[in-house]
Structure 1
Amino acid sequence: MLLLVTPSPPASPSSGLPDPEKVVQDMTGVCTKDPVCSTLVGMFDNAAWAPIVASAVVIVLIVVLAFVLRKVAHKMITRLVLRTAAKSSISRRFRKGAATDSIDALLHERRKQRAETMGSVLKHIASIVILGTAVLTVLDRLTIPIAPLLTSVGILGVAIGFGAQELVKDFIAGMFMLLEDQYGVGDVIDAGAAIGTVEAVTLRVTRLRDADGRVWYVRNGTITRIGNESQGWSRAYVDVPVAYDSDIVSVRVLLEHLAEELWADPELRESKIVEQPQVFGVEQLSDSSVVFRITAKTLPNEQAEVARELRIRVKTTLDDAGIPMVAG
Structure 2
Amino acid sequence: MSSVCEGDTLLCSTLAGLFDGATWAPLVATLITIVLILILAIAIRKVAHRVITRVVTRAATGGSIMTRFRRTGAGSESIDVLLHERRKQRAETMGSVLRHIASIVILGTAVLTVLDRLTIPIAPLLTSVGILGVAIGFGAQELVKDFIAGMFMLLEDQYGVGDVIDAGAAVGTVEAVTLRITRLRDADGRVWYVRNGTITRVGNESQGWSRAYVDVPVGYATDVSAVRDVLEGIAKDMWDDPEFRETVIVERPDVFGVEQLSDSTIVFRISAKTLPSKQAQVAREMRLKVKSALDTAGIALAPGA
Q: Same fold (TM over 0.5)?
A: yes
Residue number in structure 2 paired with 1:90: 65
**Residue of 161, 179, 182 corresponding to 1:206:** 182
**Residue of 91, 105, 108 corresponding to 1:115:** 91
- Are 1:31 and 2:8 an aligned pair? yes
Secondary structure, counterpart of 1:139 in structure 2? helix
8 Å CA contact 1:37–1:58 kept in 2: the answer is no
TM alignment of 1:1-328, pairs within 5 A: 28-32=5-9, 35-92=10-67, 93-326=69-302, 327-328=304-305
8 Å CA contact 1:205–1:219 kept in 2: the answer is yes
- Give the Cα separation in 1 of the matches to 2:134 and 2:298: 76
1:44, CA displacement in angstroms?
Answer: 4.1
Deviation per CA, 1:257-306: give whole Å up to 9, x if none. Answer: 21111111111000000000001010011332110000100000000000
- Give the Cα separation in 2 of the matches to 1:31 and 1:54: 8
Q: Indicate how the Cα distance of structure 1 residues 103 and 141 shifts in structure 2: closer, same or farther if over 3 A, else same.
A: same
Secondary structure, counterpart of 2:212 in structure 1? strand
- Give the Cα separation in 2 of the matches to 1:115 and 1:85: 6
Q: Which has the larger radius of gyration?
A: 1
Deviation per CA, 1:185-220: give whole Å up to 9, x if none. Answer: 000000000000000000000000000100000000
Superposition CA RMSD, Å:
1.7
Secondary structure, counterpart of 2:137 in structure 1? helix
1:130, CA displacement in angstroms?
Answer: 0.5
- AA aligned opposite 1:297: K
8 Å CA contact 1:259–1:277 kept in 2: the answer is yes
8 Å CA contact 2:5–2:12 kept in 1: the answer is no
8 Å CA contact 1:233–1:298 kept in 2: the answer is yes
Relative to structure 2, which stretch is displaced further, 268-277 or 247-256?
247-256
Secondary structure, counterpart of 1:216 in structure 2? strand
Question: Identity of aligned pairs, percent?
Answer: 74
Secondary structure, counterpart of 1:91 in structure 2? helix
1:254, CA displacement in angstroms?
Answer: 1.6
Secondary structure, counterpart of 1:31 in structure 2? coil
Relative to structure 2, which stretch is displaced further, 153-162 or 82-91?
82-91
1:233, CA displacement in angstroms?
Answer: 0.1
- AA aligned opposite 1:320: T
8 Å CA contact 1:26–1:143 kept in 2: the answer is no
- AA aligned opposite 1:109: E
1:144, CA displacement in angstroms?
Answer: 0.7
Secondary structure, counterpart of 1:150 in structure 2? helix
1:49, CA displacement in angstroms?
Answer: 1.4
8 Å CA contact 1:94–1:100 kept in 2: the answer is no
- Give the Cα separation in 2 of the matches to 1:211 and 1:46: 80
- Give the Cα separation in 2 of the matches to 1:37 and 1:113: 51
Q: Indicate how the Cα distance of structure 1 residues 223 and 44 shifts in structure 2: closer, same or farther if over 3 A, else same.
A: farther
Residue number in structure 2 paired with 1:20: none
Secondary structure, counterpart of 1:291 in structure 2? strand
